[in-house]
Structure 1
């Protein structure tokens, strides 16, 4: 609006559309650069793996972009119509035509900020001592910010996402009483055929075990425990592909091993053998040495 007022005061011969276009020529670049910068900043923030922050950045990015588009397709035409209203001598509320002898209020024509900058700040800032003070103050603030940035710590606590209550108290108590246990994480599998994907499931276990953030021996996965049980019963190493589907079904249903008792919640059968197949969600529970971002 300030740019438009400046154009109106200087270019009185231009029609309303030309005045708005001239104002956008002066202010449009800064508006566009600011909007694009904000969109990119929040779009980069949307790549985080923290769900709450990711959702906030996505909505903010979309909101800034929509506001910019609405400014172009809605606000600019409205400004053109408003300039037409002013040229036709109508007031700004109900667009009623003003009387021929109408005079604007003298108080409304005084621009306080313009007077302050023109009579006080402008003459003051051009003086050499003031320039020196401004430069020194700027350099001092820059140094202070750099010093504060050097002491910035990257910290994360999962209790920040809990509302005050028993869940937050429980997690805090576990961290205080059992700090050596690290963090607990559960990975849930989708509809997977356990028999056909034996090798893939064992590969998943091996890859999780090799991650630097996983405590040694902390992964609880019924499939790996079951294979270890078969090795123990057979007395020698076995190959995963040699474990038949029928033998696996019979062992888990008719002759369940001891590990079945504590793993029942992690294994779901949709029918009994020999027709059935285990293809319901399963669970893997590793212990994390430290909290890291997980997909």
Structure 2
């Protein structure tokens, strides 16, 4: 997804590469999701009750979640002859695999015992003693009257993080495919679940071509049916070239511009649009000339040959065929050619065409006024995809987006009051922006100040000494400096 929708050589691209240079990959030892310079490598599931908007925090569902967890962590993949387990590939912190979700509160605890105690909100403490932010892991929360505890939720979100190194990332992406294969076979009794991996949206671009062009191409193809096999494609495009240019001048300009676009997704689609269809037309021409089947591409025997072989009637119906002699026309070819030219000469028909086009133009202009910034990811996949409902749930319950870095590159005198105030103003400006949450902010300087009871040393030596001797012992903060 990052590759397809990030402009090449953009500022974002360059900044991400610089962050990778400044902060080495520690996903195998001290992983924190908010510190990653990329979207990460992961597998994720949403767990819901059987009926929408019921409480998912029940003993049967959580017991089933623990079973589902064992299934996921048991997924393996063989790469280059070597077997890799989830334990081999998972991102780690303090020696343990990092899994974001309510499992960090349950792990090792009886489910009934866990549910008998109130769950603090918005911050709960995991079994390893680390704080867990629940708003990003629960959807449709129901809170106690004082708002300090969660008593119910519509959705549980669990993410299994994998390591990020270049070599291990390739293996992790292959493990993702094994995860998808496994999850497609899992069935549950007390809950329903939907799943995804980090590469799920790297979909294949479908070929699309204008309907008007399709009619013209097929008309040109029929007009050239008496030509030799090697000449038919060139004659067909010779017949329709001017017509396609007239009807699709804007298409030609758009796709030509798209071929030079900095977005890989746009450029790939433009190249497919301009070159792929013509090549397929030539392959189709060769198939017809060799009298091959339209599905199996095997040479089609004649009726006499199939009868001699004593084939069944169904076999003969599906597998027989012959090359067209080029003279016959179907009813769909005859009627438009015969009646359409005459119809468009009548004034009422002309008026109807103009009215329909004006209505189309009006609706198109009105639609442009409704355009909004953003992208509904569920529109990128068909309803039959495993990802479709997952993306709908994500859009309804989990819209917090990604963490944005503020990296100060270069020597800065952090011990001076002026610099500290400038950094604070920068972060305040971000929180006040409409695209950022006003109640979320992570800063090593804030944490350092808190560890010093709000008073930072004002001279360089004392500042660096305090930073190195006490504060940097916390691996999360050390990773951010």
Taking structure 2 as the reference length, the TM-score comes to 0.33
Return the index of the structure with the highest Cα Rg.
Answer: 1
Taking structure 1 as the reference length, the TM-score comes to 0.49
> Which has more strand, going by share of residues?
2
